[in-house]
Amino acid sequence: MNVDFRETVGHCMQRDLEGVSEDTCAVNAASLMAARRIGSLVVYPAGQEPQDPHIIGLISETDLIRQVMAKGLTAGGTTVGQIMASPLLSIPSDRMMLDASHFMEKHGIRHLCVSEGEKIVGLISVRDLVKHFVYAEQGPIRDLDDVYRPLSVLMRRDIETIDREATLIMVAKRMAEKRIGALMVTQAGEMMGIVTERDLLQKGLAHNEDPAQVRVGSVMTHTLIDIDINRTVHDASDLMAEKNIRHLPVTENRTIVGIVSVRDLVRMISVRDRPRFLSQQS
């Protein structure tokens, strides 16, 4: 695949946007995300006519976990309008994909609306960014091809864990506190699984489960998908895309030594491109 790393956001964005009204309850928004296997929804004003769409906000898995579950709010009694990201952050469609990586890194977000004039015309996600740069023949990720053990450069070695008997609300609070999207789950001190924001949403929030009663052991992913530290960034990205996951434990001699995420890849892209980006801002 021949990809130009300097392509614009408009060439790579998702044009078909799933949305909900601002008066939709959080549990219904979570159910829609789970059913569509997506990580965000655009938000429309209550009572808006379908033929005249006007987007006023964006809601993501992270918003639902941090703003509803972690705060102990009821998913059935909280509306999307109460927790959505608004005013809406967007990037013009003619900006480079590299610029989108800086914007996401600066604001700590995984989804970004794309605009043309005053109109929102699409959406770009961290997965779109990573896929784009992994397949580009030049650019920040290709610069790592000659780096010894590039995954060791990208991964986080400080692995956050939680016991399998912890409740979902405890997991959500830890994720919100640490501003992360996954925790390794332990039993008797041994890592035996992983729990992600997606697990909390699809197996808890979407079913209106009481997060103070459900144990993380019942929603975690038991079969760990991992990658050896000697594999490439391309391998890691392909594996995450194939398995539809955003977090990947990294192993050395079959022992977990770190964890890498799609957000870590975007952060690396942003850091390596920062000199160019800053020079254009001055």
pLDDT for 3 equals: 46
Instruction: Mark whether 152 and 241 lie in a shared domain.
Output: yes
Instruction: Mark whether 121 and 200 lie in a shared domain.
Output: no
Query: Domain end: 134, 166, 186, which one?
Result: 134
Residue 273 lies in a domain: no
Residue 219 lies in a domain: yes
pLDDT for 51 equals: 60
Give the mean pLDDT per block of 10 residues along the chain (282 residues): 66 90 96 94 83 84 95 94 90 90 87 91 89 70 67 89 97 95 93 95 94 95 91 85 89 93 80 60 54
Peptide bond into 92 cis (omega under 30): no
Domain limits for position 119: 9-134
For the domain that residue 115 is a member of, what is the CATH number? 3.10.580.10
pLDDT for 162 equals: 97
Instruction: Mark whether 123 and 170 lie in a shared domain.
Output: no
pLDDT for 106 equals: 85
**Secondary element (H or E) of residue 124:** strand 119-125
Residue 274 lies in a domain: no
Query: Domain end: 108, 134, 160, which one?
Result: 134
pLDDT for 191 equals: 92
**Secondary element (H or E) of residue 183:** strand 182-187
Instruction: Mark whether 261 and 157 lie in a shared domain.
Output: yes
Residue 4 lies in a domain: no
Specify which residues 111 forms β-bridges with: 125
CA–CA separation, 46 and 23 (whole Å): 6
pLDDT for 275 equals: 59
Full-model pTM: 0.86
pLDDT for 118 equals: 85
Query: Domain end: 134, 160, 180, which one?
Result: 134
**Secondary element (H or E) of residue 265:** helix 262-281
Q: In which residue are the tokens 């890498």 written?
A: 260
Instruction: Mark whether 147 and 259 lie in a shared domain.
Output: yes
